[in-house]
Amino acid sequence: MTNEEYDQAMQMKSHAPGYWPAEALERWTDHKWQLRNRINSLEAIEKRINLTREERSGILLSGNKLAMSITPHFMNLVDKDDPDCPIRRQVIPRIEETWDDPTELSDPCGEDSHMPVPGLVHRYPDRVLFLVTDLCASYCRYCTRSRVVSGVGEQQLETQYEAIYEYLENTPTVRDVLLSGGDPLLFSTAKLDKILTRLRQIPHIQFVRIGSRIPIFLPQRITQELCDMLKKHHPLFISIHANHPKELTSEVQEGLIRLAEAGIPLGNQSVLLKGVNDDIPTQKALVHKLLMCRVKPYYLYQCDLIEGSSHLRTSVSKGLEIIEGLRGHTTGYAIPQYVIDGPSGGGKIPVNPNYVVKHTDNQVVLRNYEGKEFIYPEPNSAPAFLE
């Protein structure tokens, strides 16, 4: 990425109306219009972009694994002539999704084996994952929950709300609830308010988090009404999901700042994807742009071993190279924690470049971002004047 390309990536551009007629602009800010006009068929997408053979075959087969659905807002970020467009690779199916890889898993994070109640994952001692819906505004082709999301996977999500509330009431060790799915922000404001209110009635639940890609796929949903409702339930945190700087448009920035002004701490969870964000300049532009949107880069995930994702996965060494290329070269606030979700239920495992060169009882030899070595002495077992 050249300096000029970096400057372009850092711009908060509005890309609407793009593939839509001018008369659509007056309805563009209505999130319900956006949802009604999602791209979810081969015919609709062929009217807008020039598909490759691999993409066309992937779309024809997409209903067998994970539905295709793309909001007009996100569709406008797709380059119609470039099959390697980083936005296009995230949402348009490809025939590679049908490739068989024996290392891949239908449930790569082992959620089903940690589900005491249908729809509730309890892997960590004090935290639970509450799967409130199986629907999203758009569907990422590397979705960790493709087995249950979009309604065409091999399983059906059958969340038992009342049983979940009862389980939480009877499990006082739980202090943190993460709402995910699917995407919780697809719910009406009233329905989401009802869920949050119910959780707030449980005394030992200290704070609630929402995982959502709605601010990226459907920023029109981030209304002032929604923000006014959310701020009633503090402490409330939201983790968004942006992978490429092009996703952070002016509409997205407006929605994120609206959430921040409502007092909601915002973090971003990216997935390292081949041909999307697997290089240092793209990652640097992304994290800088996130900070301009008042979002802390939180996690950089190694792509899970999801069935049909081998064409999107990159090496762990590439992830370490990116972290090394950020550490010391930009503000610490901009550096996410690189993690691998342990296959089959190991949880998030942090992975970092090795900055410890040598460690003995007396000292630690450290390497900084420039490759220079420094010695930090370990404290003695007893003060010198007592020896």
Are 305 and 110 in contact, with CB atoms under 8 Å apart? no
Are 67 and 56 in contact, with CB atoms under 8 Å apart? no
Strands (E), the chain: 120-121, 127-131, 176-180, 207-211, 236-240, 266-272, 296-302, 337-342, 347-350, 356-359, 363-367, 373-377
What are the catalytic residues? 123-124, 127, 136, 140, 143, 145, 304, 341, 348
Cα Rg, the chain, nearest whole Å: 22
- Angle made by CA atoms 240, 226, 151, in degrees to the nearest 5: 60
Determine if residue 140 is labeled as part of a ligand binding site.
yes
Determine if residue 136 is labeled as part of a ligand binding site.
yes
Helix %, strand %, coil % for the chain, to 5?
35, 15, 45
d(CA 70, CA 38): 5
The binding site comprises 136, 140, 143
The binding site for [4Fe-4S] cluster comprises 136, 140, 143
